[in-house]
Amino acid sequence: MKYKNRIIALAASAAMLAGLLAGCEYWPDEDEYSGSSSSSSSSSSGSLNGSGSWGGSSSSGGSSSSSSSSSSSSSSSSSSVPDEEEKPDDTQPAEPELVGLEARIPEEDTHLVEGEFIDTYRLILTATYSDGTTENVMWEKLDPGMAILGTTEVTVTYKGMSTTFSITVEPRLPERLEIIGSPVKVNYALGETFDPLGLAVYVYYNNGRQEQLLNYKWMPERFEETGEQWVTIYYEENGKQVSKMIQVTVSAK
């Protein structure tokens, strides 16, 4: 009993000292420390709070832990909501529209001869778009594709748009005859007719082309004189005649 009273006195002194340190008076009565040693131990392990009252460290720690847990949970909850991702703009820019078409061809190719084809390899077709850009493109349709006699408007079409350019077409004219080979028969009797067998006759035109002729003509058709005679092979087209001469011998019967 004597030791118990000493222990109580020491505990009271410690409580008073703690109260003084906290800036307030605290006078515990004897009954406060008359509890079990486990209660005293629990109380002595406590601490004074800011208001000077005695508070257990376990209770304070629990409150702090709960607050921290709540704050952490709140923070976790708010951070767990992902920001809405920005969707990429999949809108494709509108393609520029075709607003213009221009056809150009070298000057020398605008003067053609009847029957010639337009040299499309030298035709330059330029497309203009709504954004101001231009590009050379391949035509889709050309009408007419062959040169027609006179002045002709040629229509060029690309993606539904058309443009025109002018050409002047001259008539095809023969420029000269060329005879290859010799006639099989070169000696004739008076009154016989000329035989062109063995001759290959070609005509050359003003467009640079040539053709072998089957419908050429000659004169005289019949030999009326003896001696060395000239036979004229000729061909006429569009009012122009070209000819070539060969020599035969005519004898009296």
pLDDT of residue 152: 85
Q: And the tokens for 195?
A: 């035989």
Q: In 34-53, which positions are buried (b, 16+ CB within 10 angstroms) versus exposed (e)? A: eeeeeebeebeeeebeeeee
Nearest partner of 229 among 215, 245, 250, judged by Cα = 250
DSSP 88-112: P--PPPPPPPEEEEEEE--GGGGEE
Instruction: Give mean pLDDT, residues 149-175.
Output: 92
Gap between the Cα atoms of 199 and 217, Å rounded:
12
Give the tens place of pLDDT for each residue, 51-75: 444 444 444 444 444 444 444 444 4
Overall pTM > 0.75: no
Instruction: Give mean pLDDT, residues 77-86.
Output: 55
Characterize the bridge pairing of strands 54-55 and 161-170: unpaired
Instruction: Categorize the per-residue pLDDT at 117 as very low, low, confident or very high, splitting at 50, 70 and 90.
Output: confident
- Tell whether the model's pLDDT for residue 150 goes beyond 70: yes
Nearest partner of 129 among 119, 137, 140, 120, judged by Cα = 137
Q: Which residue has the higher pLDDT, 65 or 9?
A: 9
Nearest partner of 125 among 135, 133, 112, judged by Cα = 135
Most confident of 61-70, 75-84, 106-115: 106-115
Task: Using CB atoms within 10 Å of the CB of residue 61, give its burial: 0 to 12 exposed, 13 to 18 middle, 19+ buried.
Answer: exposed
Instruction: Categorize the per-residue pLDDT at 114 as very low, low, confident or very high, splitting at 50, 70 and 90.
Output: confident
Q: Which residue has the higher pLDDT, 146 or 6?
A: 146
Nearest partner of 180 among 196, 159, 161, judged by Cα = 196
pLDDT of residue 39: 39
pLDDT of residue 86: 67
Instruction: Categorize the per-residue pLDDT at 247 as very low, low, confident or very high, splitting at 50, 70 and 90.
Output: very high
